[in-house]
Amino acid sequence: MKNLIQKLPKAELHLHIEGTLEPKLMFRLAKKNKIKIPFKTVAEVKEAYNFNSLQSFLDIYYAGATVLIKEQDFFELTWEYLLTCKEQNIVHTEIMFDPQTHTSRGVKFETVINGISRALEKAKNELEISSFLIMSFLRHLSQKEAFETLKEAEPFKNKIIAVGLDSSELGNPPSKFKEVFEEAKKQSYKLVAHAGEEGDASYIWEAINLLHVDRIDHGIRCDEDEKLLEYLKQNKIPLTVCPLSNTKLKAVKSMKNHNILKLLKKGLHVMVNSDDPAYFGGYLNENYEALVKDLNMNEDELKKLIQNSFDASFLEGKIS
């Protein structure tokens, strides 16, 4: 199975570019940009990656992101991830970025997006990897700030396919962002939102009924609501599931308890993604491998999950 996982061309739909910052690059950029980070050695970093919740991870993830200052830093971050995509035979990737994580520190929106886009363009030409960018609003901030970010994105609209919603879920339900998602839809963006990672099924309902999303990021708590399961199945709403992330952040007890294959068997449109691979112990292939090891995933299930990722992508039949 390991060989097959490696060999099959794959797509990734839920990946935070800031979550691909490997400790080595973090140290290099911290030194170059003279930024203080709360670690001295790679061992210390790894020690700090013992998370017990989404928030305990986010605190470290935002601290790590402070080393990204120059356009070249965003380019290198993205290029490193794309090289890994090549190694893992990921041929299409839809990458989230959090502009507010950077603009709040005085880094310009254009610095972020130009650095990332340059790497994506190079990967298209040199690595034959296609990609789209998803701009995520930080949900612990206000809707007003999300509107400001949407405005800042206007000159770069042709580089961004969708808007998303991430960061601290509990206490920040989708309803908080209803109007800004309405405006983004008017501007022809596709829509995604994290929901049902730590939040209950009501967060998923809100993302569907109030934000009108095209995909749900995570969505694993849908299994607490039979009606919701039926609705997701009937309407073929994709759930971009991230198994290693869910176990690392204790959204599920262990990989053996993960519901992804149960959801697949019920006919839901689930697929596998890596979320923040530098922090969660593996990229896309390692996520698939974990399902073989702990859930006895078979070849048909693997192929179906991969097919689902292409079907749910914003390529919409353009290639794949």
Q: Is 115 in the site for ligand HPA (CB under 6 A)?
A: no
Strand order in the sheet with 239-241: 10-16, 90-97, 130-138, 162-166, 190-195, 215-218, 239-241, 270-272
Residues 50-69, interacting with ligand HPA (CB under 6 A): 54, 61
From 104-112, 118-126, 148-156, 269-277, span contacting Zn ion (CB under 5 A): 269-277
The nearest distance, CB 242 to Zn ion, in angstroms, is: 6
Q: Is 201 in the site for ligand HPA (CB under 6 A)?
A: no
Among 275, 287, 310, 313, binds ligand HPA (CB under 6 A): 275
Ranked by CB distance to Zn ion, the top (closest) residue is 275
Select which of 22, 94, 169, 197 is catalytic.
197
For the question of residue 80 being annotated catalytic, the response is no
How many residues touch ligand HPA (CB under 6 A)?
11
Q: Is 194 in the site for ligand HPA (CB under 6 A)?
A: yes
Q: Is 284 in the site for ligand HPA (CB under 6 A)?
A: no
How many residues touch Zn ion (CB under 5 A)?
1
Among 167, 273, 274, 287, binds ligand HPA (CB under 6 A): 167
Q: Is 94 in the site for ligand HPA (CB under 6 A)?
A: no
Residue 167 near which of ligand HPA, Zn ion, none (CB within 5-8 Å, type-dependent): ligand HPA
Q: Of the two residues 210 and 249, which places its CB atom closer to Zn ion in the complex?
A: 249
Q: Is 245 in the site for ligand HPA (CB under 6 A)?
A: yes
The SS3 of residue 228 is helix
The nearest distance, CB 275 to ligand HPA, in angstroms, is: 5
The span from the CA of 35 to the CA of 62, in Å, is: 13
Tally Cβ neighbours within 10 Å of residue 167. 20
DSSP codes joined into one string, 128-197: --EEEEEEEEETTS-HHHHHHHHHHHGGGGGG--EEEEES--TT--GGGGHHHHHHHHHTT-EEEEEESS
The span from the CA of 297 to the CA of 282, in Å, is: 18
Nearest to 180 by CA among 155, 135, 217, 211: 211
Site of tokens 């797509």 = 11
Q: Is 172 in the site for ligand HPA (CB under 6 A)?
A: no
Q: What angle do CA 130, 132, 135 make, to 5 degrees?
A: 160
Binding to Zn ion by CB under 5 A, coded x per residue (else -) over 48-67, reads --------------------
The span from the CA of 155 to the CA of 165, in Å, is: 21
The span from the CA of 157 to the CA of 130, in Å, is: 18
Q: Is 275 in the site for Zn ion (CB under 5 A)?
A: yes
User: Quick check: 69 and 34 in contact, CB under 8 A?
Assistant: no
Residues in contact with 128: Cβ distance below 8 Å, sequence separation at least 6, in sequence order: 91
Copy the structure tokens of residue 116: 């990332």
Q: Is 73 in the site for ligand HPA (CB under 6 A)?
A: no
Copy the structure tokens of residue 26: 């973090």
The nearest distance, CB 64 to ligand HPA, in angstroms, is: 11
Residue 197 near which of ligand HPA, Zn ion, none (CB within 5-8 Å, type-dependent): ligand HPA
Q: Which residues bind Zn ion (CB under 5 A)?
A: 275
Q: Which residues bind ligand HPA (CB under 6 A)?
A: 16, 19, 54, 61, 166-167, 194, 197, 245, 275-276
Report the catalytic residues: 197
